[in-house]
Amino acid sequence: MCCILVAMVAERHSQLRHLAGWLLLALFVAAASLGPLPAWGAVLDVGNEGRFVAPGETDTVQNFFGVHLVERARDGSERDFRWTSAPRVTLTFPAAQRMQPQILTVRACGCRFDGSTGTLTISVNDQPLLTSTTTDQWRQYSVLVPPDLPHPDYSLMVALDAPTWNTTEGRTVGIALDTVALQQTTPPRLLNLWSIALIVAGSAAGLTFWRQRALAAAALLAGSLLIVRVVYLPQLLPYNMLALLLTVGLVALWALTRVVRVGPLLPAVLAVWLVFSPQWLGYWILDDAFISFRYARHFVEGHGLVFNVGERVEGYTNFLWTLLAAGMLWFGGDPVLLATALTMLLSFALVAGCIALAARLVAPALAWGAGVLLALSGPFLLYTSQGSGMETALFAVLVLAVLLALLDERWRLAGVLAALTLLTRPDGILLAGVGGMYALLRGGHGAGFKQLAALRPALAYALPLIALYLPYYLWRWSYYGYPLPNTFYAKVGTTADQIGRGVRYLHDFATHDMLVMAAGAAVLLAVVAGWHERKRWGAVVGLVGGFVGLFTAYVVLVGGDWMPGYRFFVPLLPLLSVLIVWGLAYLGTGGGRHLAFSVQVLVLLMAMQLVFLPATSANRVGSAVWDEVQVVRRYREIGRWLNQNTPPQTLIAAAAAGAMPYYAERPTIDVLGLNDEHIAHLPAATINIDKAGHQKTDPDYVLARQPDIIPWVTAPYVATHPTFHANYHHQRYVGPEGTTVQLYVRHGLTFAER
């Protein structure tokens, strides 16, 4: 009886402690909803801008143009300033729209010292907000920035318009500029209502997964959202979207813990990392992503899946991804923003799939180690959390999903997923073939190859695959007129050339990502140490290793890829992580020192992954990713200028057929042939460049079509043609983002700049 009473009292105390914990969490959330963060601000101290990492770009602003060299005021203030050198000065605060509401402050002086006044007009994102006078005194001009001023990067571009005049020394100047600053007028709360709603929803999910530790899970979710809120800086994705992605991703990882046991802390750390890492490493969008976006927009507008209206050319190889982009546009969304959010969400799916696959070979702790190893991979983050706009993350998720379905012997589901993989990238044919072979082998293993029952798994796998993919393939062949995409014909090279390029691509990948060599060593170790247990791991390792080997051989044969971050190998990264922890598991089977050494190797690999991360940073000046960001910004501005200043029928010729044609919304000749049937089907390479997709062009054909405009960056492909300079003249214009747009315009054409 006493024991029963003691148990009842203990249970009562436990319930009270549990209730007190929930009340404390509620009080914490309520307090955080009232507590303000420090107001965000950005200041350009003109004359003391700090380093310029590129023309017009500092650590604070971009596209700062239209000013003279630094001078020092002679009024005893020791103030550094710059005279404006043109009627318009521009500067852009990147992604600053994410920190509304704000006030813009400009400190300037007319400083003509003859008693005359001038005018100053302050505009933000091409919307005039204030017109005032300038005098011989330094004055401060302040204006409230309206919300949601359109800009493709969600930035705030400040334009200062002031007439120029000539000094007694003969210099042309406008106004003296001292400071341009943005400041939040209302500091954000530590946790807003959206965050609180997510905490409530996440806590409800936590009760499903944890029961006994639901309070800890809810506290971790609240803490994770709080961390992301505190460290949040202006970036492509708004905080509310990041908070949603964090919550959904964390709940998905918690769901996985029901199968692969681990406490709630590690999933929370992984979730925060996947959401936070792009703020450190930077977001990016590849120029090629805009090719799919252009096809998607034309599809939504009713023109079909075409690059140019009325021309059926298959210049994309990611049908399913293009349809997803079309869905984003259909609902009025920004494909750049939503594609980035989707790839971040897919990063959670990839980590979860990697852990689930690893759990078939190793203990739960090591399986989660595979997920951490993957999450620290630079190429993985580059094509998932950081964006890219490409289909790589979707393809990688589908690869993992097919492999897991095959291992579970869910043949019909595997066939459906394999078809989706093929719809995402033609390379999926390799996985489809591996899956079919695996289904045949499993059927034969269970029933004997001479029995009809041996074919049932293969038939169950193949029928849905064929039923989904064959109608699509027949449609695209009839629609575009060729059995293969136009990009296949555009990318040429002799077998020796391609293989040599592919070998270099593999070598560079292996020396820049530790997962490759570590996986090779781990597989060798595990096969030798665990050969006697091969019946336990043979199916998993055989399927995974077989696909890794086949896909690697394919990448080498096609010559690799030119894009940063070894895009073609990203789908293999989860599989390499799995193979590594499998090898380490056998290394630690001796217990004691062997186990400790195994853990040390895993931690060392994680540390080395961190060391390599800056190489794939979009914020690292001079990196390949940073260069691509600059390229897209430059081409986007050319496209926006063309859109604003040319008639809709204006024909342009572009060597980079992504951002420029997308923003221009003008018919475009793809000079390199990815989206041009004639150039792609030329019998041989015409350009001596060792770069896939950049080896064919036809200046005769391009100039015979009489494009109205040839951007300066495209001119080298046609400049040696005898008719080029006879028919085109060079022009410079001020772009809508402040930089100079250089074009070759066909004689007789003029454009009225807006």
CA-to-CA separations, 413 to 404, 435, 574, in angstroms, rounded:
10, 12, 21
At 636, the pLDDT band (50, 70, 90 cuts) reads very high
* Beta-bridge partners for 744: 710, 730
pLDDT at position 528: 63
pLDDT at position 501: 85
Average pLDDT along the chain: 88
Asked whether the predicted pLDDT for residue 689 surpasses 80, the reply is no
Contact 272, 246 (CB under 8 A): yes
pLDDT at position 114: 77
pLDDT at position 588: 59
Asked whether the predicted pLDDT for residue 497 surpasses 80, the reply is no
- Nearest one of 280, 278, 250 to 265, comparing CA atoms: 250
Look at residue 44 and give its three-state secondary structure: strand
pLDDT at position 246: 96
- Nearest one of 183, 46, 161, 179 to 107, comparing CA atoms: 179
CA-to-CA separations, 390 to 322, 344, 487, in angstroms, rounded:
10, 12, 16
pLDDT at position 365: 84
Asked whether the predicted pLDDT for residue 685 surpasses 80, the reply is no
Q: What is the mean pLDDT of residues 426-442?
A: 91
Q: What is the mean pLDDT of residues 199-217?
A: 77
The angle, 0 to 180 degrees and rounded to 10, between the axes of the packed helices 573-587 and 514-529 is 40
% of the chain beyond a pLDDT of 90 = 61
Asked whether the predicted pLDDT for residue 449 surpasses 80, the reply is no
- Nearest one of 136, 335, 337, 326 to 235, comparing CA atoms: 337
Q: What is the mean pLDDT of residues 726-737?
A: 93
pLDDT at position 353: 95
pLDDT at position 363: 85
pLDDT at position 2: 46
At 554, the pLDDT band (50, 70, 90 cuts) reads very high
Q: What is the mean pLDDT of residues 617-631?
A: 91
- Nearest one of 697, 606, 609, 696 to 281, comparing CA atoms: 609
pLDDT at position 10: 46
pLDDT at position 482: 94
| Continuous segment of H or E residues that includes residue 51 | none
pLDDT at position 694: 65
pLDDT at position 9: 44
Tokens for 604?
A: 């060392």
Q: Which of 96-105, 201-210, 445-454 has the lowest mean pLDDT?
A: 445-454
**Cα 254–255–259 angle (5° rounding)?**
105
CA-to-CA separations, 205 to 28, 356, 472, in angstroms, rounded:
20, 20, 39
Pairing status of strand 41-45 against strand 176-184: antiparallel
* Beta-bridge partners for 123: 128, 159
- CATH code matching the domain that covers 41-184, chosen among 3.20.20.60, 3.30.70.100, 2.60.120.260, 3.40.50.720: 2.60.120.260
- Nearest one of 636, 539, 525 to 590, comparing CA atoms: 525
> Which letter does DSSP use for residue 211 in this model?
G
Q: What is the mean pLDDT of residues 148-167?
A: 93
Q: What is the mean pLDDT of residues 675-701?
A: 78
Burial of 525 (0-12, 13-18, 19+ CB in 10 A): middle
Asked whether the predicted pLDDT for residue 54 surpasses 60, the reply is yes
Q: What is the mean pLDDT of residues 507-512?
A: 85
Asked whether the predicted pLDDT for residue 737 surpasses 60, the reply is yes
Tokens for 105?
A: 């402050």
Q: Which amino acid is at 602?
A: L
Domain extents for the chain?
1-34+191-261, 41-184, 284-616, 624-746
DSSP sequence for 281-315: H--EE-TTHHHHHHHHHHHHTTS-S-SBTTB----
Instruction: Give the ranges where 513-623 is alpha helix by DSSP (H).
Output: 514-529, 534-557, 573-587, 593-612
Q: Which residues of 484-520 are buried (b: 16+ CB within 10 A; e: fewer)?
A: ebbbebbbbbeeeebbbbbeebbeebbeebbbbebbe
Question: For 510-532, how does the pLDDT look when each residue is reduced to its tens digit (9 = 90+)?
Answer: 888 777 777 777 777 666 655 55
Asked whether the predicted pLDDT for residue 664 surpasses 50, the reply is yes
- Nearest one of 441, 192, 480, 111 to 311, comparing CA atoms: 480
Radius of gyration of the chain (CA): 30
Q: What is the mean pLDDT of residues 62-76?
A: 88
Asked whether the predicted pLDDT for residue 405 surpasses 90, the reply is yes
